[in-house]
Amino acid sequence: MTTLAEDLRRSLDHSRNRLIAFALEPQIEQIGRVVEIGDGVATVIGLPETRLDELLVFEGGIHGLAVDLGEHTIGCVLLGDASTISSGSLVRGTGQVARIPVGEALLGRVVDALGAPLDGGSPVAAEAFAPVEQPAPAIIDRALVARPLATGLLVVDAMIPLGRGQRELIIGDRATGKTAIAVDTIINQRSSDVICVYAAVGQKASSVSQVVEAVRRYGAPDRCLFVIGEADAAPGLQWLTPYAACAMAEYFMARGRDVLLVIDDLTKHAAVYRQVSLLLRRPPGREAYPGDIFYIHSRLLERAARLAPELGGGSLTALPIAETQAGNISAYIPTNLISITDGQIYLDPRLFYEDQKPAVDVGKSVSRVGGKTQAAVLKSLSESLRLEYAQFLELEMFTRFGSMVDERTHKVIEHGRRIRAVLSQQQFAPLPLGEQVALLLALSEGILDGLPLERVGTFRTNLGSWLAEHCPEAAALDDRAEVLREDLRSRIKASLELLAHSLGPPSAPP
């Protein structure tokens, strides 16, 4: 008993000494209260020191973002489930802006806008935390876009080429293949050093799952990152998703890496922002969008750039996606995005329903930067392709009325049909540069004109293995290759003629 009493006394003395040594200092804690809540937003009073875009913490650990600072109240966007918050709940200020984890540990993961894992894995071991909102690189910090970004889609790489550091809009009606083009571009980076970031805004869980599975099956998932704000996520998380994805991508760009950022899609992002703004009672403008709807997208897409060599020379290429209604590209949000980006890839529903996939309307699509970075070996073979294809489309329209055509017009139409057949491409099957060069050479030399139209698809299917066996120099071409030497051009042409001959006798002359 004596021993137990002494032990108890020593323990009490130790605790007393710790309490005496503890320095009691006044601490200031900003605390407010919720006065109104609903539909993903909350109105707060009692936090006079709150800054714009400051992160607030509600009861239950739910975070919110202060986006509207009034004279007496604060409009807050919630970044989680608001079921545990009610009027009168306490709110605490953090004094910090929204930050997300960045680093190599994110590669291969599926996360939300705050970096929380959605793939069932362990929490992300972040190397650092970066602000979600960051200023775009200054003009003096940028370099010229000088290297192409291959998509693996012949219609894009030949006629609407992209450059590393460019912003190219993918636009079209619902279910016309916009996401398919972006996913094929991501898959094609399996043979490059480009890191890919896919941001899903307001998409169905099933659609997101299909994208993730496609990249894991056909691409290089260890160099891909998926930032997801699904349709059933809080509006605040959906709104924050593209900014968070851009901040994660900028981490790699700042370290000299080339990054591809796909945002799917900004039309839903604008709708979410309109919903939040109306709930916060901001004055509505055209189509009920708030007055700064242009700014929220411009400040995001302007962060895509190629950095100067002294800053590492990294690049961030943005492929935002926008949805149109009945092909109306002159609507409010599409015109805003077209004016911000460096070009657009327009998908025509009519072409899609005619089974021309990718359904790219070459006449309405343009790349204002990438043409200067296009691989020289590809550019020399595709200079007249757009003109030839446009002439064919115009002539085909007139011949649909059943009028008689002369032999020259018939040859132009038959050649154009083979161009269209070559531009058609299966999903998840991007073409390496060598095969693209071979296909364009076959078109320019008229090798496919003597092949029956129904066998052009077989020609495309067998081309890769045929080149690897009969002309490996063509299969080894990359985006740094110069214009084809005459000897190599002759070898590729001879190989293509052999392939066409092996598929059967030529078609009958007109």
Q: Is residue 480 part of a domain?
A: yes
- 265 in a domain, yes or no? yes
Does residue 366 sit in the same domain as residue 397?
no
Q: Count Cβ atoms within 10 A of the Cβ of residue 301 and give its class: 0-12 exposed, 13-18 middle, 19 or more buried.
A: buried
Domain presence at residue 114:
yes
CATH number at residue 405: 1.20.150.20
Single out the residue in 322, 348, 374 at which a domain terminates. Answer: 374
Judge if the upstream peptide bond of residue 112 is cis by omega within 30 degrees of 0: no
Whether the per-residue pLDDT at 363 is higher than 60: the answer is yes
| 93 lies in the same domain as 105 | no
Structural domain range at position 392: 380-502
3-state secondary structure of 424: coil
pLDDT tens-place string over residues 17-35: 776 776 667 767 778 999 9
Amino acid in position 68? D
pLDDT for res 285: 92
163 lies in some domain: yes
Between CA 486 and CA 506 the distance in angstroms is 26
HSE-up of 142 (CA within 13 Å, CB side)?
A: 16
Q: Annotated catalytic residue: which of 368, 418, 420, 460?
A: 368
Same domain, 111 and 136: yes
* 474 domain-assigned: yes
DSSP count for the chain of H helices, then E strands: 16, 16
φ/ψ of 358, rounded to 5, equals -65, 140
pLDDT in tens, 274-328: 999 999 999 999 999 999 999 999 999 999 999 999 999 999 999 999 999 999 9
| Residue 510: per-residue pLDDT | 45
Q: What percent of the chain has pLDDT over 70?
A: 96
> Average pLDDT for residues 59-68, to the nearest whole number?
90
pLDDT digits (tens, 9 = 90+) for 85-116: 988 999 998 888 989 999 999 999 999 999 99
Q: Of 349, 374, 399, at which residue does a domain stop?
A: 374
Q: CA 236 → CA 131, 174, 231, 266, 325, distances in Å? A: 16, 24, 11, 15, 25
Same domain, 67 and 54: yes
How many CA atoms does the CB half-sphere of 161 hold within 13 Å? 26
Q: Does 265 share its domain with 324? A: yes
Output 180 or 482, whichever has higher pLDDT.
Answer: 180
Query: Do residues 363 and 472 share a domain?
Result: no
Q: Which of 227, 247, 224 is nearest to 237 (CA)?
A: 227
Question: Count of alpha carbons within 13 Å of 243, Cβ hemisphere only?
Answer: 24
Boundary of a domain, candidates 325, 354, 374: 374
Residues 234 and 309 in one domain: yes
Q: At what angle do helices 385-399 and 407-423 cross, to 10 degrees?
A: 120
Phi, psi of 434 (to 5 degrees): -60, -40
Together in a domain, 454 and 481: yes
Q: Do 77 and 239 form a contact (C-beta atoms < 8 A)? A: yes
4 in a structural domain: no
Is pLDDT of 504 > 70?
no
In-domain check, residue 507: no
135-177: pLDDT as tens digits = 999 999 999 999 999 999 999 999 999 999 999 999 999 999 9
The CATH number of the domain holding residue 46 is 2.40.30.20
Q: How confident is the model at residue 84 (pLDDT cuts 50, 70, 90)?
A: confident
CATH number at residue 147: 3.40.50.300
For the chain, the domain total comes to 3
The rounded mean pLDDT for the chain is 91
Q: Tell me: do 221 and 358 sit in the same domain.
A: yes
Distance, in Å, from the CA atom of 213 to the CA atom of 40, rounded to the nearest integer, reads 30
Give a yes or no: residue 301 inside a domain. Answer: yes
- Please tell me whether residues 82 and 152 are part of one structural domain: no
- Sorted by sequence, the CB contacts under 8 Å of residue 308 that are 6+ apart come out as 140, 141, 142, 143
In this structure, the answer to whether residues 393 and 462 fall within a common structural domain is: yes
Comparing 123 with 22, the larger pLDDT belongs to 123
Global pTM reads 0.91
Is 51 assigned a catalytic role?
A: no
pLDDT at residue 408, rounded to an integer: 84
Asked if residue 169 and residue 62 are part of one domain, the reply reads no
